[in-house]
């Protein structure tokens, strides 16, 4: 399918599908989907408008039982959140609250979801925008697809998974100590064309959050010349076309409510010198940022302090991107992180569905003062097909990590 047809379909379906509770018809699916795996997933009836701070202080649940996730991991850390299956963004996680063992709850995210998977092929065409009606492409999960976990409405898996060593300290100044860590994992799978995308968030027992997307299913079967592809199959007749998967996430941070959240960028200057110097840049206005070695960002709330008196923050690292930069018409690919002030109609990083809003994330950055920051994270992967990608294609993961910085005054293990 050509990009223009797919874009037309996307715009048409998005114009009428703004509400999270709406479902789109099968005719709006971006391109052909193997029928056995298609599911028109019902949209969750997640309630809106409950403040995170209320969720923290009051035991009353911010969403009804089927959409509530509340898990205490083996080390005592607790995660609480709500999920919904939105027509446009697919799996969406709301009102995310972390409680380190023995500490008070801290609300982290008001909402997070995928904001686009942009797939430009190396010959210049096609150029897909795979998100626009993700919710209706949710794959019904089998029990084996959700090991050790529970399936919610067939398409969302909630499970716990080991994550290796939480720490290991040798015993030269006392007994040896070590512990194995665990993640609460929430994921869904979506069929978009020949690809199956695994969309996952891991909530670790040390407070880290790891959003990632796994591309699996089948290659699209788009053949090209040797300069834009790689020979797969017998001999060197068919060159499967290389392409990028530029995945965007939208993260609406609310550290103990939206008030007081500030975004900072950290750099450590000095090269070929013995010293390194910390440099902090505070974003007063909406901004675009590029990844660099040692650069990271954080969302900090100076009104919320840990027991050491340090402001509570969440650090964002985005160091595993291929940093795809597209042509002039794809300016949204030209930064690795965007910081915008919250607007409800700014939902996707490209092909945004709301007519009263700009069409892409680069244009959301228009000089507004930041009062309620939303972060957009762009992680690219350049996929050069190989023989091993023959069906079923092995999963390739791409993502990033958010880490607590001074949420607790010491290791909360």
Q: Is 163 or 383 the residue whose CB approaches Cu ion more closely?
A: 383
Q: Is 146 or 215 the residue whose CB approaches Cu ion more closely?
A: 215
**CB 384, min distance to Cu ion, A:** 9
**CB 313, min distance to Cu ion, A:** 35
Residue 382: phi and psi, rounded to 5, are -95, 115
DSSP character string of 149-167: SEEETTTEEEEEEEEEEEE
**CB 245, min distance to Cu ion, A:** 6
Rg (CA), the chain: 22
Measured CA to CA in angstroms, residue 384 lies from 42, 113, 226, 320, 337 at distances of: 35, 27, 12, 17, 25
Q: Is 267 or 320 the residue whose CB approaches Cu ion more closely?
A: 320
Residue 129 lies near Cu ion (rule: CB under 5 A): no
**CB 39, min distance to Cu ion, A:** 22
Q: Is 151 or 382 the residue whose CB approaches Cu ion more closely?
A: 382
CB–CB of 115/248 below 8 Å? Answer: yes
Measured CA to CA in angstroms, residue 62 lies from 48, 85, 155, 211, 329 at distances of: 9, 16, 21, 22, 41
Surface-to-core class of residue 227, CB atoms within 10 Å of its CB (0-12 exposed, 13-18 middle, 19+ buried): exposed
Residue 52: phi and psi, rounded to 5, are -60, -40
Q: What is the footprint of Cu ion within residues 329-368 (CB under 5 A)?
A: none
Q: Is 295 or 383 the residue whose CB approaches Cu ion more closely?
A: 383
**CB 396, min distance to Cu ion, A:** 7
**CB 219, min distance to Cu ion, A:** 7
Q: Is 59 or 227 the residue whose CB approaches Cu ion more closely?
A: 227
Measured CA to CA in angstroms, residue 4 lies from 128, 209, 271, 360 at distances of: 9, 36, 46, 17
Measured between its terminal Cα atoms, the distance across the chain in Å is 51
CB–CB of 136/24 below 8 Å? Answer: yes
Q: What is the footprint of Cu ion within residues 156-195 (CB under 5 A)?
A: none
CB–CB of 219/169 below 8 Å? Answer: no
By CB under 5 A, the count of residues binding Cu ion is 1
Q: What is the footprint of Cu ion within residues 370-389 (CB under 5 A)?
A: 383
Q: Is 210 or 222 the residue whose CB approaches Cu ion more closely?
A: 222
Distance, CA of 157 to CA of 184 (rounded, Å): 10
C-alpha 299, offset from chain centre: 16
Beta bridge partners of 338: 288, 376
The closest residue (CB) to Cu ion is 383
Three-state SS at 364:
helix
**CB 353, min distance to Cu ion, A:** 25
Q: Is 288 or 383 the residue whose CB approaches Cu ion more closely?
A: 383
Q: Is 99 or 244 the residue whose CB approaches Cu ion more closely?
A: 244
Q: Is 212 or 383 the residue whose CB approaches Cu ion more closely?
A: 383
CB–CB of 117/52 below 8 Å? Answer: no
**CB 258, min distance to Cu ion, A:** 37
**CB 215, min distance to Cu ion, A:** 5
Q: Which of 45, 40, 42 shows the shortest CA–CA distance to 66?
A: 45
**CB 324, min distance to Cu ion, A:** 13
Distance, CA of 269 to CA of 399 (rounded, Å): 26
Interface positions with Cu ion (CB under 5 A): 383
């Amino acid at each position: 399918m050509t990009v223009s047809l797919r874009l037309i379909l996307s715009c048409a379906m998005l114009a009428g599908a703004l509400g999270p509770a709406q479902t789109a018809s099968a005719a709006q699916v971006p391109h052909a989907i193997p029928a056995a795996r298609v599911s028109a997933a019902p949209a969750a009836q997640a309630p809106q408008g409950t403040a995170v701070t209320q969720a923290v202080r009051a035991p009353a649940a911010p969403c009804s039982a089927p959409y509530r996730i509340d898990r205490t991991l083996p080390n005592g850390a607790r995660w609480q959140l709500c999920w919904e299956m939105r027509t446009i963004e697919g799996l969406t996680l709301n009102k995310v609250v972390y409680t380190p063992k023995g500490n008070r709850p801290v609300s982290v995210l008001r909402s997070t979801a995928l904001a686009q998977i942009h797939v430009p092929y190396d010959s210049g065409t096609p150029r897909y925008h795979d998100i626009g009606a993700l919710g209706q492409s949710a794959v019904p999960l089998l029990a084996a697809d959700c090991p050790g976990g529970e399936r919610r409405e067939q398409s969302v898996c909630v499970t716990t998974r080991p994550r290796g060593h939480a720490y290991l300290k040798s015993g030269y100044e006392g007994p040896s100590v070590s512990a194995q860590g665990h993640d609460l994992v929430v994921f869904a799978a979506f069929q978009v064309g020949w690809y199956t995308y695994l969309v996952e968030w891991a909530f670790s027992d040390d407070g880290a959050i790891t959003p990632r997307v796994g591309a699996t299913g089948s290659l699209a079967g788009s053949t090209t010349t040797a300069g834009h592809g790689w020979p797969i199959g017998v001999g060197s007749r068919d060159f499967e076309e290389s392409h990028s998967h530029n995945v965007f996430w939208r993260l609406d941070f609310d550290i103990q409510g939206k008030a007081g959240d500030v975004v900072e960028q950290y750099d450590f200057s000095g090269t070929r010198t013995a010293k390194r110097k910390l440099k902090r840049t505070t974003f007063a206005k909406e901004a675009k940022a590029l990844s660099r070695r040692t650069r990271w960002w954080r969302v900090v709330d100076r009104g919320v302090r840990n027991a050491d008196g340090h402001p509570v923050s969440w650090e964002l690292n985005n160091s595993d991107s291929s940093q795809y930069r597209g042509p002039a018409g794809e300016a949204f690919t030209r930064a690795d992180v965007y910081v915008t002030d919250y607007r409800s109609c700014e939902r996707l990083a490209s092909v945004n569905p709301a007519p009263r809003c700009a069409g892409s994330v680069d244009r959301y950055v228009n000089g507004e003062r930041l009062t309620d920051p939303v972060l957009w994270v762009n992680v690219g992967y350049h996929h050069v097909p190989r023989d091993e990608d023959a069906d079923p294609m092995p999963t390739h993961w791409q993502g990033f990590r958010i880490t607590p910085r001074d949420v607790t005054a010491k290791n909360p293990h």
